[in-house]
Structure 1
């Protein structure tokens, strides 16, 4: 529903235009993938992975189409980034479930989650464009 609303109202295109404007007119696909990965990933630490994907997938699609690039790599990047809810106890239900019984603190998730997110980012940036070329 959120993705449909964004597409129907033009909000996805508007946000995509803001992101492209912030990145510059000549931003390449790797820059776009990097920006979308981090925006999606950071938001995913505090909201549902599904909602985060529903929010950023139409934005990624609009950006890819605007660049004349294939959307596959960009959309997979959004999906992978939304799945990286490792760095907070509220990012995903399993993190919350083990918070109390494990006696963990918020920073425990950050210490373990941030290196995992960086690793996931690097793997995504290296592998996704090989499987789904931009052009």
Structure 2
């Protein structure tokens, strides 16, 4: 949800501050706490219900809702095994960290053309399939997907922030490659060893 109007009373920051406390303390899940906070703002007449409705990114919600069954279907139909087979064929020929780097690169490329959350939903079952096939922990591979899915720097359509600065900055499509490619490479170089250190195989 994106609300563009600045709060006019201390009620708004107080309610969202309380929601953050509930999330940090583990008393409520983020989606419950912040949904309740938004509902409270409507009840207290801090925002109009129509304003709240218009601020919700419905296309993103529909996209995620549609792709969750796709992710489940990848596992249920065995498509995950087919997609992970080329990488698993490299077992014994390349180290596991290199396979993780390959997974990150594929995820980054996919995230540059579609929503990052949707990318994570699609790539998570593939990451689990690779880890299971290698007989290692799934945690580092899932974290690699999480990091890579949030690294959408190569195109203006990879993230709404990229698109928002394109016009005011006078950027062209190629400008994102010039800055984004070195940044993606740096992320892979730093993230792979760091992930394997924090979440061992």
Q: Paired residue for 2:186? A: 119
Please, which of 7, 16, 31 is the counterpart of residue 98 of structure 2?
31
Q: What is the distance in 2 between the residues matched to 1:130 and 1:47?
A: 30
Runs of 4+ in 1 over 2 A off after TM superposition: none
Q: Paired residue for 1:49? A: 116
- Structure 2 gaps, min length 5: 1-68
Q: Paired residue for 1:79? A: 146
Aligned residues: 132
Could you give the per-residue CA deviations for residues 67-115 of structure 1, whole angstroms, max 9, x where no partner exists? 1100111111111111110111011111111111221101111111111
Q: Paired residue for 1:2? A: 70
Could you give the per-residue CA deviations for residues 19-58 of structure 1, whole angstroms, max 9, x where no partner exists? 322xx23143212101101111111111111121111110
Does structure 1 residue 12 correspond to structure 2 residue 80? yes
Does structure 1 residue 64 correspond to structure 2 residue 135? no
Q: What is the distance in 1 between the residues matched to 2:81 and 2:121?
A: 14
Shift of the alpha carbon at 1:121? Answer: 0.7
Q: What is the distance in 1 between the residues matched to 2:147 and 2:87?
A: 19
Q: Alignment partner of 2:155: what SS?
A: coil
Q: CA RMSD in A?
A: 1.2
Q: What is the distance in 1 between the residues matched to 2:82 and 2:177?
A: 32
What TM-score does the superposition give when structure 1 sets the normalisation length? 0.91
Q: What is the distance in 1 between the residues matched to 2:178 and 2:98?
A: 26
* Greater length-normalized contact order (CA 8 Å, ≥ 6 residues apart): 1
